[in-house]
Structure 1
Amino acid sequence: MLKRFFIICSGSDTDILEQCSKGEQNKYAGIGATVFFTAIMAFIAASYALYTVFDNLVTSIFFGLIWGLLIFNLDRYIVSTIKKSDNFIDEIIQASPRIMLAVIIAIVISKPLELKIFEKEINQVLLEQKNEMTLANKAQIAEQFTPSIEGLSHDISSLQQQIDTKEAEVNALYDVYISEAEGTAGTKLLGKGPVYAEKREKHDAALAELQQLKAENKAKINNIETQIGALKGDYESQVVNTQPIINNFDGLMARVNALGELPWLPSFFIFLLFLAIETSPIFAKLLSPKGAYDFKLQDQEMAIKTNVAQNKNQRESLLKTDNAINDRIYNDIENEEELYSYKRKKAREIMQLQADAFYKQQKNVL
């Protein structure tokens, strides 16, 4: 039962193959088994690749099964359409398009399995890429808020500089009236005289202005700090909202690109393995000698081709003979007076009927 199933997978004519030897049957059973297991590998590879896309096991298995059946049908078609001939070069030319298709199929099948085999290494590459993307994302978002935050911080520095300048002025006035009271500067008279009172009054007025300036600037600074806090909050929110996009950066294309970052030699050998599996039925049929099945199939096809050619030749001869007979018949009756009179009579009747119909149509119009 299993042998018959693999023979069916090979795409060979089972009726002809049953008339051949066991060795011939085993050869085509081996070719069919290769086709079948290649389709199984395609199903596994496609299911894994689609799982990385849809993240749904049932959907991935369903479409993976469809892909496996498609590959099975293509391989079966490729193997079954290669016909053995007496010229090996002709066989190579005949099989070259199918070999190219087999190479494409091998690439498509091997790539998802490479992603699975090198999954840990790919995850490491993706982690490094995600970290770089996270830093780049934060820098890009910061470019939107940094100018505003720096501008507001500069405003705070300006307001604080106003307070510092006023404090320096008040401190200077304080030193002046204290020096006046101690007699170390100004009038150099010890005691609190009129000059001392005047300088003390200037100091007190400046101190009041300083206190008012501090109150006003403090309110402004608090408002600006609130704005800075809001901007920083918006920055953090954007970072948090965009981070899941980076965390989910592990789709099929990302993994394929990450695989490209790894050394190429292991992936190349895996590709060669699947290329050998995919092309093995083709080369097995090309390299195998012409067997009983090929002779019987060729004999059957030649019989059908000969029968078709004979039928075509007979139809062409029949048509040629029939045309010659018709030509002779029409030449013989061309000059018969009886036929001429009959056709002349019928033509007159037709013209009369046309004239009557035209008259009735014109009368109805008027």
Structure 2
Amino acid sequence: MLKQFFILCSGADTDILNDCSVGEQNKYAGIGATVFFTAVMATIAASYALYTVFDNLYSSIFFGLVWGLLIFNLDRYIVSTIKKRDSIIDEILQATPRIFLAVIIAIVISKPLELKIFEKEINQVLLEQKNDLTLANQNQIAEQFNPKIDELNKQILDLQSQINTKETEVNALYNTYISEAEGTAGSKLLGKGPVYKEKRDKHDAALAELQQLKTDNKAKITTLEDEILELQNNFNTNVASSQPIIDNFDGLMARITALGELPWLPSFFIFLLFLAIETSPIIAKLLASKGEYDYKLQDQETTIKTWTLQKVAERELLLKTDNDINNKVYTEIADEEDVINYKRKKAKELMQLQADAFLNKQKGIL
């Protein structure tokens, strides 16, 4: 049962192969087993690759089975269409396009399994890439908010500087009227005279201005600080909203790109393994000698071909002979008096009918 299934997978003509030796049947059963297990590997590889895309087990298995059946059909077609020839060069030329197709299929099959085999290493590369993307994303978002925050901080510093400058001025006026009262500066008179009162009034006025300036500037500073806090919250919100996109940066293309960052030699050997599996049925047919099945298949094909060509040639000869006979017959009877008189009679009747029809038509018009 299993042997017959693998023979069916090989694409061989079972009617012919059943009349062949057991060894010939085993050879094609081995070729069919290779085709079958290649399709199984293709199904597993495609299911894993699609799982990284859809993140759904059932959808991945379904489309993986579809892909495996497609690969099975292609491999079966490739193997079944390679015919043994009397010249090895003709066989190689015949198999060359199929080998190229097998190489493409091997690449497609091997890549998803490479992703699974090197999954841990790929995750490490993806983690580093995600960290870099996170930093780059924060820097890009910061470029949108930092100029405005810097401008607001500058305004706060300007307002604070105004307060500091006014405090310095008030302190200077305070020292001035105190020195005047002590007689150490100004008029040099000890006591609180008119000059002291003038300087004290000037200090008190500046102190009132300082208090008002502090009140006004602190209100402005509070408003500016609220704006800075709002900008910082917006920055944190944008970073938080964009972070899930970076966290989900582990799709199929991202993993293939990460795989390219790893050393190429292990991946290359895995590709060679699948290339050997995919091309093994073709190579087996090329290396195998022309067997009993091939001779019987060739006999059947050439028999049909010869019989078909023979029937076509006979039809062409029959047509040519029939044309020659007809031409000869018509040439011989063309000069016979009876034929000429009969044709003359019929032509006369036809002309009379045409004249009557023309007359009736003219009467109808009038």
Output the TM-score relative to the length of structure 2. 0.96
The one-letter amino acid of 1:247's match is D
Structure 1's 342 and 296: CA in aligned 2 closer, same or farther, altered over 3 A?
A: farther
Q: Does 1:323 align with 2:323?
A: yes
Tell me, in whole angstroms, the C-alpha distance in 2 between the residues paired with 1:346 and 1:181.
Answer: 158
Q: Does 1:110 align with 2:96?
A: no
1:136-179 deviation digits (Å, cap 9, x = unpaired): 00000011111111111111111111111111111110110111
Tell me, in whole angstroms, the C-alpha distance in 2 between the residues paired with 1:349 and 1:71.
Answer: 77
Aligned match of 2:121: 121
Structure 1's 96 and 225: CA in aligned 2 closer, same or farther, altered over 3 A?
A: same
Structure 1's 156 and 270: CA in aligned 2 closer, same or farther, altered over 3 A?
A: same
Aligned match of 1:47: 47
Aligned match of 1:344: 347
Q: Does 1:253 align with 2:253?
A: yes
Aligned match of 2:13: 13
- Which moved further from structure 2: 234-243 or 96-105? 234-243
The one-letter amino acid of 2:351's match is R
Q: Does 1:198 align with 2:198?
A: yes
Tell me, in whole angstroms, the C-alpha distance in 1 between the residues paired with 2:149 and 2:159.
Answer: 15
Tell me, in whole angstroms, the C-alpha distance in 2 between the residues paired with 1:117 and 1:25.
Answer: 36
Tell me, in whole angstroms, the C-alpha distance in 2 between the residues paired with 1:362 and 1:107.
Answer: 84
The 5-angstrom pairing of residues 200-279 of structure 1 reads 200-279=200-279
Tell me, in whole angstroms, the C-alpha distance in 1 between the residues paired with 2:50 and 2:361.
Answer: 75
The one-letter amino acid of 1:327's match is N
Tell me, in whole angstroms, the C-alpha distance in 2 between the residues paired with 1:109 and 1:229.
Answer: 54
Aligned match of 1:311: 311
TM superposition shift of 1:330: 2.8
The 5-angstrom pairing of residues 94-105 of structure 1 reads 94-105=94-105
Aligned match of 2:84: 84
TM superposition shift of 1:229: 1.1
Structure 1's 347 and 104: CA in aligned 2 closer, same or farther, altered over 3 A?
A: farther
The one-letter amino acid of 1:30's match is G
Tell me, in whole angstroms, the C-alpha distance in 1 between the residues paired with 2:360 and 2:189.
Answer: 148
Secondary structure of the structure 2 residue equivalent to 1:216: helix
The 5-angstrom pairing of residues 39-188 of structure 1 reads 39-188=39-188
Tell me, in whole angstroms, the C-alpha distance in 1 between the residues paired with 2:38 and 2:190.
Answer: 112
The one-letter amino acid of 2:239's match is V
Aligned match of 2:295: 295
Secondary structure of the structure 2 residue equivalent to 1:189: coil
Secondary structure of the structure 1 residue equivalent to 2:131: helix
TM superposition shift of 1:361: 8.4
Tell me, in whole angstroms, the C-alpha distance in 2 between the residues paired with 1:251 and 1:134.
Answer: 17
TM superposition shift of 1:349: 5.7
The one-letter amino acid of 1:157's match is L
The one-letter amino acid of 2:340's match is E
TM superposition shift of 1:355: 3.5
1:165-202 deviation digits (Å, cap 9, x = unpaired): 11111111011011111111101111111111100000
Tell me, in whole angstroms, the C-alpha distance in 2 between the residues paired with 1:86 and 1:119.
Answer: 48
Tell me, in whole angstroms, the C-alpha distance in 2 between the residues paired with 1:128 and 1:87.
Answer: 56
TM superposition shift of 1:283: 0.3
- Which moved further from structure 2: 254-263 or 313-322? 313-322
Tell me, in whole angstroms, the C-alpha distance in 1 between the residues paired with 2:123 and 2:352.
Answer: 95
Structure 1's 188 and 110: CA in aligned 2 closer, same or farther, altered over 3 A?
A: same
Structure 1's 122 and 326: CA in aligned 2 closer, same or farther, altered over 3 A?
A: same
* Seq. identity, %: 70
TM superposition shift of 1:360: 7.9
Secondary structure of the structure 1 residue equivalent to 2:39: helix
Structure 1's 361 and 303: CA in aligned 2 closer, same or farther, altered over 3 A?
A: farther
1:221-279 deviation digits (Å, cap 9, x = unpaired): 11111111111111111101100100000000000000000000000000000000000
TM superposition shift of 1:338: 3.2
Output the TM-score relative to the length of structure 1. 0.96
Unaligned 5+ residue runs, structure 1? Answer: none
Structure 1's 183 and 55: CA in aligned 2 closer, same or farther, altered over 3 A?
A: same
Secondary structure of the structure 2 residue equivalent to 1:73: helix
Tell me, in whole angstroms, the C-alpha distance in 1 between the residues paired with 2:322 and 2:352.
Answer: 33
1:80-132 deviation digits (Å, cap 9, x = unpaired): 00000110011000000000000000000000000000000000000000000
TM superposition shift of 1:348: 2.3
